[in-house]
Amino acid sequence: MSENQNLLAEQRRALILDEVRRRGGVRVNELTRKLGVSDMTVRRDLDALARQGMLEKVHGGAVPVVEASTHEPGFEAKSGLELTAKEDIARAAARLVTPGTAIALSGGTTTYALAQHLLEVPDLTVVTNSVRVADVFHAAQRTSGQRQGAATVVLTGGVRTPSDSLVGPVADQAIAALHFDLLFLGVHGISLEAGLSTPNLAEAETNRRLVHSARRVVVVADHTKWGTVGLSSFAALEQVDTLVTDAGLPAEARAEVSEHLARLIVAGEPETDEDI
């Protein structure tokens, strides 16, 4: 983290949270020095993050919250995290989409960011089990009218989860009858041992159906998802064709991912021949 007195509160708190997760804990005096702000400002930021359940305050600093594998944050709680990384990932992932293809977007805040970058790609058919993703395309149509080349959106139906995904038998049956060229999958966690995982059992089954119906699978996940394991695994790393992530992913993790996936795209960095 570089010193910057002009950081917005949201940016400061994202940096603090990243530092807590990366190091396993931070002290107030370290944060004041790195952020270039007052002790009182840092303590207010820690109070705000603690109220949101993002970290735990301890004497003189903060440590990560130890979450149960069944804990599922809501969409709003997740939407304020890693904003820059999600935007970079969405921009890089959008470049994988060609006009006229059938794609699927799962639920999640990163796929939500991606949807906004796909509005100008013509003649897409978009299958999604995300209410938020569908709203992006429907809002664009309400604003600009039914323009030529606008995406055709198929919303699966189903039972709504805290992350605003639609899951359960209705969603599963709808997805099972479809086939798409490219699936963009947001995940709760990704690891070598557990593969892709989620804390929601019904969502895990729906994600399995999405993976099965896709010709190619692209996971869009920022670096904080690496090493996180939810209650239910729904795909092995070998079932993923491409991971699009951000520059925060450590070198060791990049090497491990590259052994199991055909392609690793780090947003903002050029691809090497080995990545392609």
| 66-106 pLDDT per residue, tens | 554 444 555 444 555 557 889 999 999 999 999 999 999 99
Using an 8 Å Cβ cutoff, are 70 and 229 in contact?
A: no
| Distances in whole angstroms, Cα of residue 3 to Cα of each of 26, 44, 80, 161 | 16, 18, 21, 39
Task: Please report which confidence band the pLDDT of residue 234 belongs to, taking 50, 70 and 90 as the band edges.
Answer: very high
pLDDT tens sequence across 190-214: 998 899 998 888 999 999 999 999 9
CB 132 within 8 A of CB 75: yes
Q: What is the pLDDT of residue 70?
A: 46
Judge whether residue 276 has pLDDT over 60. Answer: no
- If we measure between CA atoms, which residue out of 112, 16, 98 comes closest to residue 64? 16
Kindly tell me the sign of the dihedral angle through the C-alpha atoms of 241, 247, 251, 252.
negative
3-state secondary structure of 8: coil
Going along the chain from its start, the domains and CATH numbers come out as 9-64 (1.10.10.10), 75-266 (3.40.50.1360)
Residue 100, phi then psi, degrees to nearest 5: 85, 5
Judged by DSSP in three states, 182 sits in strand
User: Which range among 48-52, 90-94, 147-151 has the greatest average pLDDT?
Assistant: 90-94
What tokens were used for 123?
């003649």
Distance CA 89, CA 112 (A): 11
pTM here? 0.71
Sheet holding 26-27, edge to edge: 26-27, 61-64, 55-58
Which DSSP symbol is given to 226? B
User: 195 has which bridge partners?
Assistant: 191
Q: What local confidence, expressed as pLDDT, does residue 63 receive?
A: 81
Mean pLDDT confidence for 168-185: 95
Q: What is the model's pLDDT at position 78?
A: 52
Please tell me the predicted confidence (pLDDT) of residue 11.
82
User: What is the reported pLDDT for 230?
Assistant: 84
Question: Is pLDDT above 50 for 5?
Answer: no
